[in-house]
């Protein structure tokens, strides 16, 4: 039976999406853009058909960027919609001629959706519904296909299987629409996690809170909702501590925050920049990688000496901010107010004094590790059957011996303080799942975590006594289902990032302005300006199209292997070896005198011959390998 | 495919102990053998042709026959004949020396054309017909024929059209000074040669020949061979260029050469390396250019034919 490549169906679906987006705005945009898009679309289809992309990505990116900048500069505040749509049409066209990867596919979908949304701003026509349905179904189908494609790019299935996949993909929105309408009506819409730990005594779920209370609930449920998404490069998961709040006063059941001045802190480590999108929650602290030194993008942010960042109001809607953190587990600070960090609730010394004394060693640092090891070895991490009592730390340490991070951290801090070592509690999140498609960390509520900072050798040292395995904080499934979930989350992320403006006020004013402008006919758009715009567009696109045509005619002929071979010859001719037309590759290489170059060149020649003269197709892998050999010259 | 190029190298090494400094000739002979072709050695006597033939037959575990050609040699002296057996009261076939795996036909140009053509027919058909009965020749079957280029008196040099039946034409040539010194010091090694331990046996040899048939020949290489053939056909010095049999021989030997290099696909080098042994004896040079050696022309043709990559 005939096999159909997943990639082919994915491409076709993507074309449909792009065309639906384009046609929805076609009547409103300038004809030059429509023509430009048509050319780019056809060229893109041709490239996909040939599976050869002669225009390098950076060229496209530069063109897109300069175009967007140009549009941004020339856009009139009076009528921003059409120019923005035109820019999007252009970007969509450029995306189509790229060698498409995940992000590019997703960007194609997102831009198409934007275009449709844009068309809704310009007219209220029934045709909108048609484009909407086409986009709606094709995007879901495309995402399902994309999930397959991401698993195995070269996958080919026979017709029956493909039809089955398509029907399933088609069924998802069909089933989802009525169901989501029901959910939409039934469920009260809320910005907060529904079950907030500590607010409601009986049922509790994991999550961050501004104080750490012990001994009230016995079971905690894991809450999978996302608390933040952080755009940053992937780092070693051992550094994934998201600092929120520092607590220093313990009354026996609850840790509270008392602010303190600590001047002359000093950090030493790698700096990491993050863009954080924080979901609404009921408190006013913002999170960043441990230890954040700079947080930008939030008005009225209060910074404390213990690297805690606090808004003046609770985070009751999504916020986006930029943070810079220094990856280290130490804060060097000379001189702290020791009494504050040695405070203990009444009566605890009598109960736990013996235990603390037993763990004391001859130096501070040894004592710290002695306590840490004692906790890790003798106590069990659990979210069930937690200690419920009036003196939770004592009961946890002496009786129950089971607990979550809050118990471990509290016990650690208390034992440290009993030994005269200043200690404090830090609450935040740990770990996160890296979404490679979107390039960001997803941190769910269940990753809420509490750890300890101990003052050792004039520095606050991060200590995490909780024996939960790191995998439980960073684990990620790789089956198709999770892949789809990831892709959907990526879409949501783009949606949040690009569509939802973080300043709603601005959005509303903009919207008002648009409405006003649409109502009054715009006549002061002078002819000369229109001509200039057109000239600039043509000026922009002409060299671009010429470049494409040139590449098409000159480079299309040269297959990737031929290009590689040309590079090989070029490299060798630079050191004085010119290949005669009648020389065989190996024969030519054998003429080289330098044994080192000869050895490498021979490697290339033999590998190349073994594919070329066996009439095998040069796979991406082969090309990559040959390039690697070539780059070693 | 399990390429036995290491064993083949071992064979060449062993044989070169008996034929000092003649690895090239040994390799070419083996390539001819494994290509199921026949070898023509054009050389003066006493340069090791017999040693080569015996060596190959011994080391490959095959049997060996020798035909010394003279002007009174009859076809039946080669093929064998039926003799009446009185006691059985019927004719009995007595196979001639050609019924061996490796046959050395010494000074083929001394035999009469009639005998020559009988021999060449046997080479081509790999069978002989005597008095209506057809007898298959053994497999593998390999003829090394020699021709003395200097003595012309009373000889019948092979006509060009017959030369085409030999896959390769080589000459062994004089040994180098060092090699000859070694030969002189070492004395005759004939006894040792006869006691040579075979590295292969008949089955392995046939298996290798089959494997060589499966060596991959790309269309690019086929085009390259045709390019070369067309060049020889258009060449102004030649009155006749490469025949189809010639291009077939080029392809066949190229496959074997690739196999000898441990490859299961042919590259242009395989063809280029053998061109001056596979082509010159198949082209006919025009009378007016008789003093130009065909080897030189072939070399220039090869050097002006572009390779596929």
Query: What pLDDT digit, counting tens, does each position of A223-234 carry?
Result: 778 888 998 998
Percentage of the residues of chain A whose pLDDT score is greater than 70: 83
Q: Using CB atoms, pick whichever of B216, B264, B305 lies closest to residue A582.
A: B305
Tell me whether residues A615 and B263 touch, CB distance under 8 A. Answer: no
Q: Using CB atoms, pick whichever of B219, B269, B304 lies closest to residue A584.
A: B269
Tell me whether residues A585 and B220 touch, CB distance under 8 A. Answer: no
A23 and A162 Cβ atoms separated by less than 8 Å:
no
Residue B116's contacts (CB-CB under 8 Å, 6 or more residues apart) are B108, B156, B158, B162
Q: Assess B262–A contact: CB distance below 8 Å, yes or no.
A: no
Average pLDDT over residues A18-32: 89
Average pLDDT over residues A297-310: 85
B270, closest residue in chain A (CA to CA):
A584
Residue A606's contacts (CB-CB under 8 Å, 6 or more residues apart) are A586
The strand pair at A423-430 and A448-456 is best described as antiparallel
Average pLDDT over residues A210-231: 75
The strand pair at A302-303 and A309-310 is best described as antiparallel
pLDDT band at A297 (very low <50, low <70, confident <90, very high): confident
Task: Report how far residue A139's alpha carbon sits from residue A152's, in angstroms, rounded to the nearest whole number.
Answer: 20
Q: pLDDT tens track of chain B, all 309 residues? A: 677 778 888 888 888 888 887 888 899 999 999 999 999 998 887 788 888 888 888 888 898 999 998 889 888 888 888 888 888 888 888 888 999 999 999 888 888 888 888 888 888 888 888 878 888 888 889 999 988 877 677 788 888 778 888 999 998 888 888 888 888 887 777 788 888 888 888 888 899 999 999 999 999 899 999 999 998 998 888 888 889 999 999 999 999 999 999 888 999 999 999 999 999 888 888 888 888 888 888 898 888 888 887
Task: Report how far residue A242's alpha carbon sits from residue A285's, in angstroms, rounded to the nearest whole number.
Answer: 11
Least Cα distance to A150 among A440, A495, A484 occurs for A484
Domain B5-206 in CATH: superfamily?
P-loop containing nucleotide triphosphate hydrolases (3.40.50.300)
pLDDT band at A187 (very low <50, low <70, confident <90, very high): very low
Total Cβ atoms within 10 A of residue A488:
13
A572, pLDDT greater than 80:
yes
Q: Two tokens at B281?
A: 């004896």
pLDDT band at A498 (very low <50, low <70, confident <90, very high): low
Q: What is the pLDDT, as a whole number, of residue A624?
A: 85
B13 and B39 Cβ atoms separated by less than 8 Å:
no
Least Cα distance to A410 among A387, A429, A431 occurs for A387
Q: What is the pLDDT, as a whole number, of residue A482?
A: 72
Is 1.10.8.80 the CATH number for B215-304?
yes
A508, pLDDT greater than 70:
no
Average pLDDT over residues A126-134: 83
pLDDT band at A514 (very low <50, low <70, confident <90, very high): low
Q: What is the pLDDT, as a whole number, of residue B235?
A: 83
Task: Report how far residue B21's alpha carbon sits from residue B17's, in angstroms, rounded to the nearest whole number.
Answer: 8
CB contacts, 8 Å: B220 with chain A: 612-613, 615
A571 and A630 Cβ atoms separated by less than 8 Å:
yes
Question: What is the 8-class DSSP label of residue A359?
Answer: T
Q: Using CB atoms, pick whichever of B266, B304, B305 lies closest to residue A613.
A: B266
Q: Using CB atoms, pick whichever of B267, B304, B305 lies closest to residue A609.
A: B267
Continuous H helices in A187-257: none
Beta strand spans in A369-512 (E)? 380-381, 402-403, 423-430, 433-435, 440-444, 448-456, 459-463
B15: left (phi over 0), alpha (psi -120 to 50) or beta: alpha
Chain B interface, mutation test: which of A582, A587, A616, most B Cβ atoms within 10 Å?
A: A582
Which residues lie across from A400 on neighbouring strands?
A: none
Rg (CA), chain B: 20
Mean pLDDT rounded to a whole number for chain A: 80
Q: What is the pLDDT, as a whole number, of residue A191?
A: 38
Q: Assess B254–A contact: CB distance below 8 Å, yes or no.
A: no
Task: Report how far residue A355's alpha carbon sits from residue A411's, in angstroms, rounded to the nearest whole number.
Answer: 11
* Intrachain domains B5-206 and B215-304 with the same fold: no
Least Cα distance to A435 among A362, A494, A393 occurs for A494
Rg (CA), chain A: 31
How is chain B split into domains, by residue range? 5-206, 215-304
How near does any CA of chain A get to the CA of B297, in Å? 15
Average pLDDT over residues A460-471: 84
Give the angle subtended at the CA of A348 by the CAs of A345 and A352, to the nearest 5°.
145
A590, closest residue in chain B (CA to CA):
B269
Largest CA distance in chain A: 95
Element (H, E) at A243: strand A241-247
Q: What is the pLDDT, as a whole number, of residue A523?
A: 43
pLDDT digits (tens, 9 = 90+) for B96-116: 899 999 999 988 888 888 888
Q: What is the pLDDT, as a whole number, of residue A199?
A: 36
Residue B279's contacts (CB-CB under 8 Å, 6 or more residues apart) are B228, B232, B242, B246, B250, B294, B298
Total Cβ atoms within 10 A of residue B162:
18
The strand pair at A241-247 and A423-430 is best described as antiparallel
Q: What is the pLDDT, as a whole number, of residue B132?
A: 81
pLDDT band at A76 (very low <50, low <70, confident <90, very high): low
Task: Report how far residue B177's alpha carbon sits from residue A461's, in angstroms, rounded to the nearest whole number.
Answer: 83
In this structure, the dihedral spanned by the alpha carbons of residues A403, A409, A411 and A413, taken in order and rounded to 10 degrees, is: 180
Q: Assess B268–A contact: CB distance below 8 Å, yes or no.
A: yes
pLDDT band at A192 (very low <50, low <70, confident <90, very high): very low
pLDDT digits (tens, 9 = 90+) for A364-407: 889 999 999 998 888 888 887 777 788 888 888 888 888 888 88
A201, pLDDT greater than 50:
no
């Amino acid at each position: 039976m005939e096999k159909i490549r997943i990639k082919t169906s994915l491409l076709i679906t993507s074309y449909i999406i792009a065309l639906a987006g384009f046609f929805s705005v076609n009547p409103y945009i300038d004809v030059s853009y429509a023509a430009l898009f048509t050319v780019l679309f056809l060229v893109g289809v041709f490239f996909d058909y040939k599976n050869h992309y002669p225009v390098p990505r950076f060229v496209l990116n530069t063109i897109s960027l300069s175009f967007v900048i140009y549009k941004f500069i020339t856009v009139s505040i009076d009528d921003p919609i059409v120019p923005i749509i035109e820019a999007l049409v252009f970007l969509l066209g450029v995306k189509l001629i790229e060698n498409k990867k995940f992000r590019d596919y997703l960007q194609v979908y997102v831009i198409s959706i934007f275009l449709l949304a844009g068309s809704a701003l310009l007219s209220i026509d029934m045709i909108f519904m048609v484009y909407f349905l086409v986009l709606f179904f094709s995007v879901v189908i495309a995402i399902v296909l994309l999930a397959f494609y991401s698993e195995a790019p070269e996958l080919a299935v026979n017709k029956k299987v493909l039809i089955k996949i398509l029907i399933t993909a088609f069924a998802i929105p069909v089933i989802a629409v009525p169901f989501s309408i029901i959910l939409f009506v039934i469920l009260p819409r809320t910005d907060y996690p529904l079950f907030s730990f500590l607010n409601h005594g009986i049922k509790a779920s994991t999550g961050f809170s501004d104080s750490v209370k012990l001994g009230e609930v016995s079971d905690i449920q894991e809450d999978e909702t996302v608390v933040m998404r952080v755009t940053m490069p992937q780092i070693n998961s051992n550094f994934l501590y998201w600092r929120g709040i520092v607590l220093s006063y313990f009354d026996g059941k609850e840790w509270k925050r008392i602010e303190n001045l600590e001047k002359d802190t000093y950090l030493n480590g790698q700096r990491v920049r993050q863009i954080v999108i924080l979901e609404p929650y009921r408190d006013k602290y913002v999170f960043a990688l441990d230890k954040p030194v700079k947080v930008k993008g939030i008005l009225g942010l209060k910074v404390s000496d213990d690297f805690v960042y606090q808004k003046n109001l609770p985070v009751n809607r999504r916020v986006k901010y930029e943070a810079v953190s220094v990856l280290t587990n130490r804060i060097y600070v000379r001189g702290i107010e020791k009494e504050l960090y040695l405070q203990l609730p009444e009566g605890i010394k009598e109960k736990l004094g013996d235990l603390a004394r037993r763990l004391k060693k001859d130096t501070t640092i040894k004592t710290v590790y002695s306590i840490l090891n004692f906790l890790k070895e003798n106590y069990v991490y659990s979210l069930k059957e937690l200690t419920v009592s009036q003196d939770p730390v004592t009961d946890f340490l002496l009786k129950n011996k089971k607990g979550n991070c809050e118990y471990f951290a509290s016990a650690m801090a208390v034992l440290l303080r009993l030994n005269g070592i200043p200690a404090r509690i830090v609450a935040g999140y740990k770990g996160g799942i890296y979404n490679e498609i979107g390039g960001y960390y997803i941190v769910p509520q269940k990753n809420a975590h509490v750890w300890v900072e101990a003052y050792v050798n004039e520095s606050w040292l991060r200590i995490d006594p909780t024996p939960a395995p790191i995998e439980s904080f960073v684990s990620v499934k790789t089956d198709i289902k999770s892949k789809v979930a990831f892709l959907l989350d990526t879409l949501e992320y783009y949606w949040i990032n690009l569509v939802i403006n973080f300043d709603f006020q601005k959005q509303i004013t903009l919207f008002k302005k648009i409405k006003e402008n649409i109502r009054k006919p715009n006549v002061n758009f002078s002819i000369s300006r229109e001509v200039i715009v057109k000239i600039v567009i043509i000026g922009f696109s002409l060299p671009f199209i010429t470049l494409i045509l040139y590449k098409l005619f000159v480079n299309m002929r040269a297959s990737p292997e031929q290009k590689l071979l040309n590079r090989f010859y070029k490299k060798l001719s630079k050191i004085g070896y010119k290949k005669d037309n009648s020389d065989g590759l190996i024969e030519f290489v054998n003429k080289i005198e330098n044994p080192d170059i000869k050895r490498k060149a021979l490697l290339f020649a033999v590998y190349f011959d073994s594919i070329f003269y066996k009439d095998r197709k040069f796979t991406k892998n082969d090309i990559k390998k040959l390039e690697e050999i070539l780059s070693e010259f | 495919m399990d390429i036995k190029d290491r064993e083949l190298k071992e064979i060449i090494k062993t044989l070169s102990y008996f034929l000092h400094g003649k690895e090239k000739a040994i390799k070419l002979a083996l390539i001819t053998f494994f290509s199921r072709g026949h070898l023509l050695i054009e050389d003066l006597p006493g340069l090791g042709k017999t040693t080569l033939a015996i060596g190959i037959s011994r080391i490959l575990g095959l049997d060996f026959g020798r035909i010394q050609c003279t002007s009174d040699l009859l076809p039946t002296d080669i093929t064998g004949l039926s003799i009446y057996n009185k006691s059985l009261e019927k004719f009995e076939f007595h196979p001639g020396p050609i019924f061996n795996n490796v046959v050395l036909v010494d000074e083929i140009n001394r035999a009469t054309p009639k005998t020559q053509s009988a021999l060449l027919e046997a080479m081509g058909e790999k069978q002989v017909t005597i008095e209506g009965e057809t007898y298959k020749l053994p497999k593998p079957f390999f003829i090394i024929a020699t021709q003395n280029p200097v003595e012309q008196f009373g000889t019948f040099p092979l006509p060009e059209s017959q030369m085409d039946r030999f896959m390769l034409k080589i000459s062994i040539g004089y040994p180098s000074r060092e090699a000859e010194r070694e030969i002189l010091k070492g004395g005759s090694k004939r006894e040792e040669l006869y006691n040579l331990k075979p590295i292969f046996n008949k089955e392995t040899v046939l298996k290798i020949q089959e494997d060589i048939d499966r060596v991959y020949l790309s269309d690019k290489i086929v085009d390259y061979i045709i390019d070369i053939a067309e060049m020889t056909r258009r060449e102004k010095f030649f009155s006749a260029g490469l025949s189809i049999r010639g291009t077939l021989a080029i392809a066949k030997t190229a496959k074997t050469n690739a196999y000898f290099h441990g490859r299961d696909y042919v590259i242009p080098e395989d063809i280029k390396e053998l061109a001056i042994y596979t082509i010159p004896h198949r082209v006919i040079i025009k009378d007016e250019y008789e003093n130009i050696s065909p080897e030189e022309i072939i070399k220039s043709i090869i050097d002006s034919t572009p390779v596929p990559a």
